[in-house]
Amino acid sequence: MAVTIRDVARASGVHVSTVSRTFSAPHLVNAETRNRVLAVAEGLGYRPNRAARALTTGRTHNLGLIVADIANPFFPPLIKAAQAQARERDYHVFVADTDEDPVLEQELIEMLCKQVDGVLLCSPRLSNRVIERLRAQVPFVVVNRRVKGLATVLMDVGQGVRAAVGHLAGLGHRRVALLSGPAGSWTSGEIRESAAERAADLGLELTVLGPNAPTEQGGLAAAGAVAAAGVTGVLCYNDLVALGLIEGLRERGLDVPGDVSVIGVDDSLPGRLSRPKLTTITMPTAAAGRMAVDLLLASVAAGEAAPRTTARLETSLVIRESTQRASSP
């Protein structure tokens, strides 16, 4: 026979309403009582009925998490961390993949709004105008995009980009290229702006090539343009583009890093396992996932009174094998 809320109340020595508040609004129950009720519930194997709780509290205890491409190794650590953080707060996470398509992204948001208490948008491709309109339906937190009036978590990719361009300059590279990302990517814009500023400060000639698909195929397709540009160093939008570029350069008889030094962004697993191992900018994706969940649940709890916090996480350059001193002319 299933354990009921009354069984938990009886064993805990509290009223049924106290047990209900422990699960639906734990901040309203003092810590000692809450811990006793939770311990008894766990011992009895009690699980609250989420559907019933949603009817009484108006909360589903579900969150939506929308990413641009679940196959991109940048996203899984963020997803895993966000799910773990939500689980600790007694929330479930629905994950959806837009396949880099802003139309599909909008459809997914509109669908999830009816089933969740809040939505995490990770590297969205929608315009800020559309995001601002959709926010009226459900609380949002945006990862890696500034949107006026919304809580955001930003990974300071510009910090890592400046270090990367400085690294190339320190190795004697004077002509470098940037393989940019998708046209609608906020991160790509940040990379381009930071790279251009740092290159100008150091007197480097920077050639911007793109937009490019954020995939290995995108890097492979750009290899011809990189070879024709006559550059000795390249900063890529992400690790996948960098790995595709390395393959494309090899097909053209160019060695990495002997002829061309290549730097990625993300510090994803494929780059650590590749040969040469990829010099890259590490992005704190797991920390961003945890922080985004915390900000979203704070917004859900506070409603319109929630602060529009912008959290910024540091990035850094990891030097491996795909960069070396420029060859003498």
pTM: 0.81
- Give the strands of the sheet with 310-313, arranged side by side: 92-97, 62-67, 118-122, 140-143, 151-155, 310-313
Which pLDDT tens digit goes with each residue over 288-321? 999 999 999 988 887 665 667 889 999 999 999 9
Residue 24 to residues 66, 91, 301, Cα–Cα distance (Å): 25, 11, 12
Q: Where are the alpha helices (DSSP H) in 231-284?
A: 239-251, 269-273
pLDDT band at 230 (very low <50, low <70, confident <90, very high): very high
Decide if 296 contacts 118 (C-beta within 8 A): yes
Beta-carbon contacts of 133 under 8 Å, excluding residues fewer than 6 positions away, are none
Distance CA 166, CA 202 (A): 8
Residue 274 to residues 112, 154, 244, 247, 271, Cα–Cα distance (Å): 38, 28, 11, 11, 5
Residue 196 to residues 158, 200, 218, 280, 287, Cα–Cα distance (Å): 11, 6, 21, 18, 28
Which pLDDT tens digit goes with each residue over 103-116? 999 999 998 888 89
pLDDT computed for residue 147 by the predictor: 86
Q: Which of 289, 190, 170 is nearest to 238 (CA)?
A: 190
- CA torsion sign for 183, 179, 314, 95 is positive
Decide if 221 contacts 248 (C-beta within 8 A): yes
- CA torsion sign for 70, 76, 82, 88 is positive
Which pLDDT tens digit goes with each residue over 24-65? 667 678 888 888 888 888 888 877 665 455 444 556 789 999
pLDDT band at 1 (very low <50, low <70, confident <90, very high): low
Residue 231 pLDDT greater than 70, yes or no: yes
pLDDT computed for residue 206 by the predictor: 98
Q: Helix, strand, or coil here: 35? A: helix
Q: Which of 266, 243, 244, 242 is nearest to 144 (CA)?
A: 266
26 burial type by CB count under 10 A (0-12 exposed, 13-18 middle, 19+ buried): middle
Decide if 239 contacts 219 (C-beta within 8 A): no
Beta-carbon contacts of 53 under 8 Å, excluding residues fewer than 6 positions away, are 23, 24, 59, 61
Once rounded to an integer, what is the mean pLDDT over residues 210-236?
97
Q: Helix, strand, or coil here: 170? A: helix
- Domains in the chain (CATH in brackets) are 5-57 (1.10.260.40), 62-155+285-315 (3.40.50.2300), 157-283 (3.40.50.2300)
Once rounded to an integer, what is the mean pLDDT over residues 90-108?
92
